[in-house]
Amino acid sequence: MKCVILQPSYIPWRGYFHQILQADLFIFYDDVKFDKNGWRNRNRIKTPQGLKWLTIPVHQKGIESNQTPINQVEINWDRDWITSHWNTIEMSYHRAPFFNHFSSELFPFYQQKPVRLANFTIDLTIKIAELLGLHSVKFLCSSDMEEIHGEKTERLIHILEHVGANHYLSGPSARNYMDDDMFKKAGIHLEYMVYDYPEYPQFYPPFETHVSILDLMFMVGRDALNYIQNGIGQS
């Protein structure tokens, strides 16, 4: 069984969904510490004025001291960010060929008022995976697993052993801190993604790879999976 373990993120980029595509089991790593200024609560879209960050405001208690796990981070509702995000998305993509095809499925998420960040981003990510046609993967959260312990590589291996996975697919940046020998000793095959994606039709040049998956979906529709799979390799 091939497994991916990734922290939940807000409207992630193309590579995140390619890992979902490759996985038999995808685990949202939601009980590790929230990384401020990371991808947990923000992402970028293309607008007529250039790249724009869409950031979900969160309450800062515990975050400054790096003590709050992702699944405990609460959204700050002092301002109506959710309406602002949707309005920005709609303004930027209403002329995109497939905006109307997906917008009716996505808009209900932007009418909610969730308390916790992870509940919102995980549910939205699963919905986007469904819209992309990724129906065979199973989703779990690490916070739902009991008796998982250890740090870094050791903890990942405990999770993989807990779910019975014998194949772990990781993003390339993990090479900098992953202990490959620990996977070998545990009898788990370790594989790293290599991202090399083709360009696709995109508003507001120049072309930008690292933007939210929404950009790809709104521009090419159900062909998005072809642009996710093509030009990719693993090692």
Hey, which bits of 91-141 come out as E strands? 138-141
Shortest CA distance to 186 belongs to which of 158, 207, 215?
158
Between CA 13 and CA 36 the distance in angstroms is: 18
Between CA 115 and CA 76 the distance in angstroms is: 8
pLDDT digit string, tens, across residues 144-179: 998 888 888 999 999 999 999 999 999 998 888 889
Mean pLDDT of 141-146: 94
State what percent of residues in the chain have pLDDT above 70: 96
Cβ–Cβ < 8 Å for 40, 10: yes
What lies within 8 Å, CB to CB, of 174 at 6+ separation is: 192
Between CA 144 and CA 83 the distance in angstroms is: 31
0.85 surpassed by pTM: yes
Cβ–Cβ < 8 Å for 112, 142: no
pLDDT digit string, tens, across residues 197-226: 999 999 999 999 999 999 999 999 989 999
pLDDT of residue 69: 94
What lies within 8 Å, CB to CB, of 206 at 6+ separation is: none
